Structure 1
Amino acid sequence: MNSAPVPLPKRILVIKLRHHGDMLLTTPVINTLKQNWPQAEVDVLLYHETREMLSANPAIARLMTIDRQWKKQGAAVHLKHEWQLMQQLRARQYDVVINLADQWRSALATRWTGARIRLGFDFPKRRGALWRFCHTQLVPVTGHGKLHTVEQNLSLLEPLGNLQTSSQVTMSYNASDWEHVEGLLGQQAVPNDFIVVQPTSRWFFKCWTEAKMAATISALQASGYTLVLTSGPDKREQEMVANILAQCPEERVISLAGQLTLRQLAALIDHARLFIGVDSVPMHMAAALSTPCVALFGPSKLTFWRPWQVQGKVIWAGDYGTLPDPDDIDTKTDERYLDLIPVEVVINATKELLS
């Protein structure tokens, strides 16, 4: 692969069109670009619903968003939005585009910018003349099977030369985010050494059973700790939290389930003494914020998605039984694969970190 020093870029575009956690794990790429070219403006093209993961990040100049609701507004309106976005991208006159995505629309946007350096991955499913035409250089993905997603992302920067690499994941929020959360905690007289528990994920097959989570929370309540439960706004997630609370004593536990934005949740986690959670976006946020963490993990691909540089314990369900291949799982299943993890293992890990 050819690697040579790159002329000082004025503007750089990073493209990633995936879920919230994926966006958080792009921040080492953004940090590396800013560390090596602090004068450059770094923009990000992402899905509109994931923008809050990066909206307070001081290293980013602009967020360009694709709203997946456009297509519900009719073909003419949809095309108008897409054309306006393409014009905005072209007007920025990027020098470098880092296309971390694997969709055709990301490749076409990369080509449309006209940037003199356009990097993408040589995905096996995208090998062909059009994908090559959209990029000036493709980076092999051989070996990615043994790399964390952060490491995979950073590998796309190799053609830019011998850069100083930052592998730090960054979750940013504003002072107003914490002020809002602090007010909610004050209303319920929550002490400063609270524990955050995120028992839910958008995919329930990544969750522990309510009974086991309730048993863990009850044990910590009995030891005098105060716990704050959180979840996404989804009705099923909030019902799960209510079910857990119904099995716990009423003292020293409150619920903020469905009440916080992602940035407010980040502020809450950042001020917590400990985070306990399943494989979900908040787990990655806790690791990024260096909050001590007990992460219940499985059956996702541990190599790719374990909490990066986590301070704490990752408890993998595969150590306590047989898990299915992640690629074979029906994501709509009611199976709780984390149920393999014993309650006492989680309680002991939590108390060890609190000691």
Structure 2
Amino acid sequence: MSEFKDIKRVLIIKLRHIGDVLLAVPAIRAVKDSFPGAEVTALVNSGTEEMLALNPAVDEVLTFDRSLKDLSLTGRAIGELKFLNIVRKKGFDMTIDLTGGDRPAFIGLTTGAKYRLGYNPEGSGFKGKKLLYTHLGKKPERGTHAVLKDLGLLRQFGIDAKNLSVDIYSTPQDDARVKTLLGKNGFSGGKLAHVHPTSRWFFKCWTDDGMAHVMDKLAGAGFTVAVTSGPEEREIKKTQAVISKMKTKPIDLSGRLLLKEMVSLSKMSSIFFGVDSAPMHIASACGVKVVALFGPSGAFDWGPWDNKAAGGLDNASPYPAKSGLQRFGQNIVIQTNWDCVPCGKDGCSGSKKSDCLDAIKPEYVWSVLQDTLPEIYQSQSSGTLATSGRLTGEPDTSSSAQGGA
């Protein structure tokens, strides 16, 4: 790191989705710690900036307006040029591309920064792309968790992280509003289960019947169940379809919470149950026990992070198996152990529906959840979050193609 001189302003570029931005927090903090006198700015897509709100490692958040893509070619060009001019005027000394696409490479170049770090594109993107960087890192191996991918680039240039926690914040006002919402729906304390059955990508969603079954079981075990969804109408409708199949009545917050209020809800919850989604990452960042259903996505890439169990991890994924039932700290991923899982595709044969998820049996999911409930009771009675270290090797969800978990 001694090769980097006079670093006063750093731009970290992460033009991805909500969960990607949140999982970049340890890398952003590592930069702030390595250059303590520097101003650290994060550039993220509009709609993801709340993941970095109030974070002391970030001095400023710039957002790229994704709605520019809906403009005419001329309008889009004008908008992007205006944006690049704003970024250039910031006078950055270093840019760090944690995105990997073509746009961040151009943005880094146009800043005029002396140091421009990024992963070696190795043939991807436009010809000559690697020439836009001054420092190229070797790409991470497949199976590296998203948190460690971002840190892996920095570590190649002597920027290391002492703290691997994925931190997220809410305001007292956010907390108060969510507490009021819960109170109006009859919750005044006790065990709260946050259930998020949807994703913007429906190929990540489980069956409505399965979700309803597990939520009824949680209610029967003494939990107040609060159900959330994203703001899109199709997600709200899917959540309503799940609720309509329930025998018990949950607190329906579908489409009603902002991202920062989702943080507040997580802080008040005893457990999170749901699918691979941004709220899953938010819950795990808040220290809530997470039990998540995975389909085509790899848990080794995107499994819920456990801040307390992350110490000592280097480049190995906390979810080392290709698929199946896995545990990292207090968090659990349930996934079928089929040969094709994870495929990384948007459903089977382009159907936008994942057979590997549909095959997971509700009774099995509830049995996994049941086994974790004593840990929740213990954590509530002691006033602390219970974790049991990094464990793998529990009975997996493997089955023939006709069966499933």
**Do Structure 1 and Structure 2 share a fold, with TM-score over 0.5?**
yes
Please name the residue that 2:169 is paired with: 172
Matches within 5 A, 1:1-355: 4-126=2-124, 130-141=128-139, 143-161=140-158, 163-192=160-189, 193-251=191-249, 253-309=250-306, 311-319=329-337, 323=341, 325-327=343-345, 329=347, 333-355=352-374
Q: Is the 8 A contact 2:338 2:356 kept in 1?
A: no
Relative to structure 1, the CA distance from residue 324 to residue 73 in structure 2 (aligned partners, 3 Å threshold; closer, same or farther) is closer
Q: CA deviation at 1:272?
A: 0.3
Give 5+ residue unaligned stretches, structure 1.
none
Normalization by structure 2: what TM-score?
0.80
CA-to-partner distance for each residue in 1:105-151, whole Å, 9 max, x for gaps? 2111101111111101112233776323211011011x421311111
Q: Is the 8 A contact 1:8 1:37 kept in 2?
A: no
CA distance in 1, matches of 2:216, 2:182: 20
SS of the counterpart of 1:145?
Answer: coil
CA-to-partner distance for each residue in 1:52-101, whole Å, 9 max, x for gaps? 22233232122222212124333443333222221222221112110112
Give 5+ residue unaligned stretches, structure 2.
307-327, 375-405
**Larger helix percent:** 1
Q: Is the 8 A contact 2:229 2:239 kept in 1?
A: yes
CA-to-partner distance for each residue in 1:246-297, whole Å, 9 max, x for gaps? 222344x211000001111111012101111111111111111110111111
CA distance in 2, matches of 1:180, 1:247: 28
Which structure is higher in RCO with an 8 Å CA cutoff and minimum separation 6? Answer: 1
Q: CA deviation at 1:324?
A: 6.0
Q: CA deviation at 1:162?
A: 5.4
Q: CA deviation at 1:5?
A: 4.9
SS of the counterpart of 1:160?
Answer: coil
CA-to-partner distance for each residue in 1:177-197, whole Å, 9 max, x for gaps? 111111111111213221100
CA-to-partner distance for each residue in 1:158-191, whole Å, 9 max, x for gaps? 3432534432212222222111111111111213
In the comparison of the two structures, how many residue pairs are matched?
Answer: 351
CA-to-partner distance for each residue in 1:209-264, whole Å, 9 max, x for gaps? 1111111111122222210000111222212221221222344x211000001111
CA distance in 2, matches of 1:116, 1:324: 40
CA distance in 2, matches of 1:68, 1:29: 24
Q: Percent identity?
A: 33
Q: CA deviation at 1:157?
A: 0.9
Normalization by structure 1: what TM-score?
0.91
Q: Is the 8 A contact 1:57 1:173 kept in 2?
A: no
CA distance in 2, matches of 1:117, 1:125: 22
CA distance in 2, matches of 1:237, 1:16: 26
Q: What RMSD over aligned residues (CA atoms) do the two structures have, in Å?
A: 2.2
Relative to structure 1, the CA distance from residue 328 to residue 219 in structure 2 (aligned partners, 3 Å threshold; closer, same or farther) is closer
